[in-house]
Structure 1
Amino acid sequence: MCFSCKQGNESSAISTKNYVNIVKNDAQNRIDIFVDSVYFTSYLYADSMLRKPVLFPLKTANGKRITRGFPFKPIVGERMDHPHHYGLWLNHGDVNGVDYWNSAVVPKNENARYGRINHVEFLKMKSGGVGELSVKKNWVNDKQEIVIEEVTTYRFKGDKNVRSITCNSTLKAVSKNVIFTDSKEGMFAIRVRTELEMPSERIDKRFGVEVDSLVNIKPTGFYKNSNGIQGYPEVWGKRAKWMQLVGVVDDDSVAVSILSHPKNPNHEPHWMARDYGLFAVNPLGSKTYTNGEEELNFSLKKDESITFCYRVLIENGVVSSVRDIETQFLKFAENQ
């Protein structure tokens, strides 16, 4: 184990080409990740607003933030809807009747049952050409029972134009059988900044902000998936092995791609890709996405486990073509 006990901020790291440095920051209850001395992201695990550990914020190789700031660091002019959408996370909307997706400091529905995901311990921290962070989490229901034990390993890589995160999450049913009832609200997700939203009068009316505050913040996002479907709402709920979101941030081309490993259940998965900046892959929502034509209701018996594996590619400058992403997907599929 290579463990950095250095107390870090966004400027402290080791400078070696393509070197990923994992920095433990006890003072702020986070783990900071750097690539070539440039801040990339942090694992947040103990903030009072958290109802699940997340990676926040996410930045490009040249330092452009791609995630929405709210609720941790609100940005003037951005929307403040869906307070449970922050950073990059994994959870689900219906686990044994308990909602982990919509769990927030202020409940969405007073009559609903909400759970939370608690950070338990760090299992591994390793800096190097590939940075590695392994953590244990518990999915706790509204009766304070541990329903699922999660072990997630994040692997971080980067170069002058690309950042990547490979996320392997193993979920184990520990106290009883578990059923993930089909829900549109899941599962591996990012909430992106305003510039990467879709241009849309619908969301301006639904999640409105002051008009003057949007003058210099222009939504430019556009989705395309591995099956050639493009735009919104065309991509919503459709099956695909990968999805790419492209846009412009501070006059720089930015692309965020999510790849779903073929060993994940219910492959090719559905996609919860929204115009207002929610970008998610959800293999466990078939009933909703197919208008009832399909139904999965994935289940685990007590002591059984399942692993979900995803890769996120964040690019700035030159954006990968469909052929390039397909090549990346094949490498991802072969090496996991």
Structure 2
Amino acid sequence: MEPSSQGGGFQFEQRDDRLVITHSGSPVAHFVFRDAQVLRPHFAHVHAPGGIQVTRNHPPVPGIDPVDHPDMHPGIWVGFGDISGTDFWRNKGRIVHERFSEPPTIQNGTLNFTTESSMLTADAQKLAQLTTRITLIEKRGAWHLTWDAAFTPTTDGFYFSDQEEMGLGVRVATAINEKNGGLITSSGGKTTAKATWGQPAAWCDYSGVIAGRHVGIMTVPDAANAHPSWWHNRDYGVFVSNPFGRKAMKQGELSRIDVKRGETYRLRHTIIIHASPDAKAPDLQQLLK
């Protein structure tokens, strides 16, 4: 398919397995909806305004990147270590793209699309229909990516279990992980992976300096989500907004969220992909406005 045309704003090219998104000729991200190794839709090759890549290379490059979790941490994704006994985080279950129920369009500078997927167990039994609504806009020099996931069980006994690896995950570029000088900051003012791990927060940011510019990714769970998020944050570059792991995150008793057949559970996040003109860190509160 020929690239969309929208002047100097967002553009996309739809391929058989992905949307390749650019802005004014510079790379933004790939939205991959079919992949032989990562068995769920995801964003890879995510770039901040100005063209600096802020997610880890996918697949990771030996000698440049740590090569752990090569088929679990592609960039930005929604994944779950245990839904009704099936592990969608480690690619035991599959989230299979079926179609674009709302094809990609660009209107007033905003990229929108909606996908329909089936959530399948390892033996191909369907657990739920997943409707994913994506919106991408430019706002105050940053990309604001909204990922709105709606889960509608097609069988009885559907539940989200209690694990660390549950929710919306991000793997940042190797150059800005905490081991290489990057910094995690939470809405409560805590910093570092150790201090923010397992803690509740309205948002977390993971950022650092690449090529003389301060760049990063902030994840903001929607205040309307049914449950607040705890954070599974690590110094090697992953951070996960997790509303399902109360005991796993050492915040109380074992949790379980049941959703009845035909009902819908929504999980919505905004991911703010930002870049400063120099090495100075931005005012994180300003990014939220």
Task: Output the TM-score relative to the length of structure 1.
Answer: 0.80
1:95 to 83, 86, 92: 83
2:286 to 311, 316, 324: 324
Q: How big is the shift at 1:23? A: 2.2
1:299 to 258, 267, 278: 258
Aligned to 1:49: 37
**In 2, distance between residues paired with 1:273 and 1:253?**
20
Structure-to-structure mapping, 1:186-201, within 5 angstroms: 186-199=166-179
2:106 to 114, 120, 127: 127
Aligned to 1:85: 73
Match of 2:166, as an amino acid? G
Aligned to 2:117: 137
Any idea what SS the aligned residue of 1:287 has?
coil
Contact 1:15 1:37 in 2 (8 A): no
**In 2, distance between residues paired with 1:233 and 1:179?**
29
Structure-to-structure mapping, 1:197-208, within 5 angstroms: 197-199=177-179
1:32 to 20, 28, 44: 20
Any idea what SS the aligned residue of 2:194 has?
coil
**In 2, distance between residues paired with 1:163 and 1:75?**
29
Aligned: 1:278 with 2:269: no
Deviations along 1:186-221, one digit per CA (max 9) or x if unpaired, are 21011112112112xxxxxxxxxxxxxxxxxxx121
**In 2, distance between residues paired with 1:260 and 1:160?**
20
Match of 2:94, as an amino acid? R
**In 1, distance between residues paired with 2:262 and 2:211?**
48
Deviations along 1:167-192, one digit per CA (max 9) or x if unpaired, are 11101111222111111112101111
Q: Which has the larger radius of gyration?
A: 1
**In 2, distance between residues paired with 1:287 and 1:231?**
21
Any idea what SS the aligned residue of 2:116 has?
strand
**In 1, distance between residues paired with 2:128 and 2:61?**
32
Deviations along 1:258-277, one digit per CA (max 9) or x if unpaired, are 1111111222x101111111
Deviations along 1:260-301, one digit per CA (max 9) or x if unpaired, are 11111222x10111111112100011111125x233211101
Any idea what SS the aligned residue of 1:233 has?
helix
**In 2, distance between residues paired with 1:126 and 1:179?**
34
Match of 1:20, as an amino acid? F
Aligned to 1:21: 11
Aligned to 1:257: 218
**In 1, distance between residues paired with 2:22 and 2:137?**
9
**In 2, distance between residues paired with 1:243 and 1:160?**
19
Tell me how large the CA RMSD over aligned residues is: 1.8
Q: How big is the shift at 1:49? A: 1.6
Aligned: 1:221 with 2:211: no
**In 1, distance between residues paired with 2:149 and 2:97?**
13
Deviations along 1:300-319, one digit per CA (max 9) or x if unpaired, are 01111111110011111154
Q: How big is the shift at 1:161? A: 3.3
**In 2, distance between residues paired with 1:15 and 1:137?**
28
Q: How big is the shift at 1:233? A: 0.3
Match of 1:53, as an amino acid? P
Aligned to 2:163: 183
**In 1, distance between residues paired with 2:282 and 2:140?**
14
Aligned: 1:115 with 2:115: no
Aligned to 1:166: 146
**In 2, distance between residues paired with 1:174 and 1:97?**
15
Q: How big is the shift at 1:142? A: 1.4
Any idea what SS the aligned residue of 1:79 has?
coil
What is the number of equivalent residue pairs in this alignment? 283
Q: 1:154 to 1:247 in 2, by over 3 A?
A: same
Contact 1:244 1:256 in 2 (8 A): yes
- Which structure features the higher share of strand residues? 2
Stretches of structure 2 lacking an aligned partner (at least 5 in a row): none
